[in-house]
Amino acid sequence: MLHQTSLAKARAAYQPKLPASLSVHSTANKTSLPSNTDAEIQSLFPNTFHLPAVSFSSGTEAAKPAPIVVGVILSGGPAPGGHNVIAGIFDAIKQIHPESSLIGFRNGPEGLLTNNGTEIDAKLLESYRNTGGFDIIGSGRTKLESEQDFLKALETAKSRNLTALVVIGGDDSNSNASKLAEFAASRQAPLTIVGVPKTIDGDLKGEHIETSFGFDTACKVYSDLIGNIQRDAISARKYWHFIKLMGRSASHIGLECALQTHPNITLISEEVAQRQLTLKNIVDDIANTVAQRAANGEKFGTVLIPEGLIEFVPEMGVLIGELNETLAHHGDAFNALADLPAKRAFVAEKLTAPSASLYKSLPDDIANQLILDRDPHGNVQVARIDTQRLLIDLVEARLNDLKSAGTYKGSFAPLPHYFGYEGRCAFPSNFDADYCYTLGFTAALLIREKLTGYICSVRGLTKPAAQWQAGGVPMAQMMNMERRHGKMVPVIKKALVELDSPAFREFEKHRATWAKETSYAFPGAIQYFGPSEVSDTTTITLQLES
């Protein structure tokens, strides 16, 4: 048994808020959606595409439904609030019928494929309510995507008498949940499949989903840490902090943390790609800001760097693509080489001239990371690259040039940081605790209505929870065709930062001032108690978007 701290005890007693219109007696109202016009998607999802959107309004007790047996999986990286989604499902299905039951499949989709599940009862759930993490049943990154996987999933469902399966995951996991729903429907399998939008990255959102759960808490944790570092920076007045922030591709986390903390520099990967900024452009900009601040007597600063940056820098993207090809085609010869300088020289020889010159210009440890850290498909693991160290090295070199030219005087003392795992399993904020409980409750109602292929959608999230509007939309409607591993496939589109979005425009309005002056904000730790204007408020991104 884990030790229960005072905060854990207090959080265990927290009763998450639900929208006033949401109860097990809520009525499902159906409205037709403006249809996604992609003919290919429509033809790939004949059973689950042409379905209405659903919203739940207050209702009165109708005939008692039969007990339902729900399976649940947690998929991908943890995000604060996952346990509350499970609590919401559990409480709702028990209220629908006290003999309903909930089976948690262990360690992600793998648990469903291998039929490794456990019943989640009131006692087990008790110590997980309002806690962070996915440890109640574990999570995993196994994919549920082939016909064979779908057949195995249906077999497991049958053997456990499941009425429904809830997939708590990101864009990929929900895309696959949608395909499984279509597969089950095409075989008349009596299984309702419902998705729940999860990821700290904040990139599963759009017309129907205002935000994924976990983004709020993770950004608050990182912003607290960044604020603390900034307070240290203005106290010690000697360090430049280069902080890499999690978020595999999209820069939503970096952007939100910038809005919360006002650092001197924030790089946004999507802007780098769109404006075709080179590594040299980025480094020159940072070095100029360091020099300008030094000239004003401020030899300190903060730089936020999104985890996925490197892939968005056009010439680095090309280099990474060429490295993936080279390692795929010459893997044996590469592996046979004994030492790192020989491996680096081997790959450099196979690259085009611009990529070879860029590769050779990189510090050795980064050049090594680019060829050594590969995923199971043999691709470079971009998220593992120490971009914060790479930028420090390059900025330092540039400042030395400026010094030689007489345009910079001063000392540059940089410190690298990486904030990622620190934010994924924090106690969910009140927002995420309430949002997740509502998502779980909504999933149970979609199941009661036998609405398969739906993702839970809760709207009006910047208002008090009592006014939120819960419902669902068919996941197939959120799909588009994308090339994956050389093949066009239907997937839910990943939402990247848009340069005309309200959040980016707000950041753009202030960034020149934040670079020059020291305008740091210190949000402090997440507030779990106190007035709801403070403790329940969600991200600035969401407030600006609404």
DSSP 190: -
Bridge partners (DSSP) listed for residue 483:
488
- Kindly state the smallest distance separating residue 428's Cβ from ligand FBP, in Å: 15
- Stretch of 71-79, 156-164, 341-349, 499-507 contacting ligand FBP, by CB under 6 A: 71-79
The catalytic position among 91, 171, 172, 201 is 201
CB nearest ligand FBP: which residue? 76
Amino acid making up residue 534: V
- Kindly state the smallest distance separating residue 99's Cβ from ligand FBP, in Å: 34
536 tagged catalytic: no
- Site size with ligand FBP, rule: CB under 6 A: 13
Give the three-class secondary structure for 401: helix
In the Cβ-directed half-sphere of 308, how many Cα atoms lie within 13 Å?
A: 19
DSSP string, 210-239: S--BTHHHHHHHHHHHHHHHHHHHHHH---
Please provide the size of the chain in residues.
Answer: 546
Rounded CA gap, 224 and 137, in Å? 29
Nearest to 87 by CA among 124, 117, 118, 129: 129
- Kindly state the smallest distance separating residue 139's Cβ from ligand FBP, in Å: 8
Distances (CA, A) of 338 to 290, 335, 367, 375: 41, 8, 16, 21
Q: In terms of CB distance, is 79 or 458 closer to ligand FBP?
A: 79
Residue 199 engages ligand FBP in binding (rule: CB under 6 A):
yes
| 284 in Cβ contact with 398 (< 8 Å) | yes
Distances (CA, A) of 362 to 85, 272, 342, 365, 368: 45, 19, 16, 8, 10
Q: In terms of CB distance, is 189 or 383 closer to ligand FBP?
A: 383
Among 200, 385, 425, 470, binds ligand FBP (CB under 6 A): 200
Among 201, 271, 298, 449, binds ligand FBP (CB under 6 A): 201
Among 210, 256, 271, 307, binds ligand FBP (CB under 6 A): 307
380-419 residues near ligand FBP, rule: CB under 6 A:
383
Among 19, 81, 170, 306, binds ligand FBP (CB under 6 A): 170
- The rounded radius of gyration (Å) of the Cα atoms in the chain is 25
Nearest to 222 by CA among 254, 267, 199, 248: 254
- Stretch of 73-81, 93-101, 112-120, 403-411 contacting ligand FBP, by CB under 6 A: 73-81
Give the contact letters, 418-457, x = binds to ligand FBP (CB under 6 A), - = no. Answer: ------x---------------------------------
- Kindly state the smallest distance separating residue 73's Cβ from ligand FBP, in Å: 13
Give the contact letters, 223-252, x = binds to ligand FBP (CB under 6 A), - = no. Answer: -----------------------xxx----
Catalytic residues: 201
The contact set with ligand FBP (CB under 6 A) reads 76-77, 79, 170, 199-201, 246-248, 307, 383, 424
